[in-house]
Structure 1
Amino acid sequence: MFVLANFLLAVAKIADILLTIYLYILIARAIISWVNPDPYNPIVNFLYRSTEPVLSRVRRFLPDMGGLDLSPIIVLVAIYFLQSFLVRSIYDLAYKMKLGMGGMP
């Protein structure tokens, strides 16, 4: 059972790291959008390619705000929710599995 607990801990840690990296990529994309970036720049191209699939799905559900794009804020809130709820729940489950093993013969 401790192997499953360690596996869940690893999954939770990797999910937390990936969500944090995506959070920073999303923030960089939002900051880049305030200026007129060169669309042929490889960094700008990467930021757009990595965030546009998620942002476009969120934009479909948002009303037209007249040029104001709230999709990055909604995705940031969703990332914080996933880190606070899902990742923390996986951590708690794994630690409870490890502690539950301590009392068994």
Structure 2
Amino acid sequence: QTPPGSSAERTQVVVDSMREYLLEKESSSVSSVFTVTGFNFAGRGQSSGMAFIMLKPWEERPGGENSVFELAKRAQMHFFSFKDAMVFAFAPPSVLELGNA
């Protein structure tokens, strides 16, 4: 989420930076990244964006440091450095709706 009123271009720069980090710095775990500008789980707008990350199969990323939770932790620490946006990295529950009561 970039500041309210941000242009789609400004948001795209942030989304591109997210993709670049994940594909380059986390290449041992990340297979692909699909990004969307103009929408997120909180709503739509030029200042909104999100990314979906496909991880490599577990056999190709052994060790606890390559778990989805460790990846999310490292990504979140990196994204905290973004001055132009609020970016949150998290892993959804493995069972949909679990804990959403």
What band does the TM-score fall into relative to the shorter chain?
A: under 0.3
Q: Which has the higher contact order (CA 8 A, sep 6+)?
A: 1
Bigger Rg over Cα: 1
Q: Say which structure is richer in helix.
A: 1
User: Is the strand fraction higher in 1 or 2?
Assistant: 2
Q: TM-score, normalised by structure 2?
A: 0.27
TM-score of the pair, normalised by structure 1 = 0.27
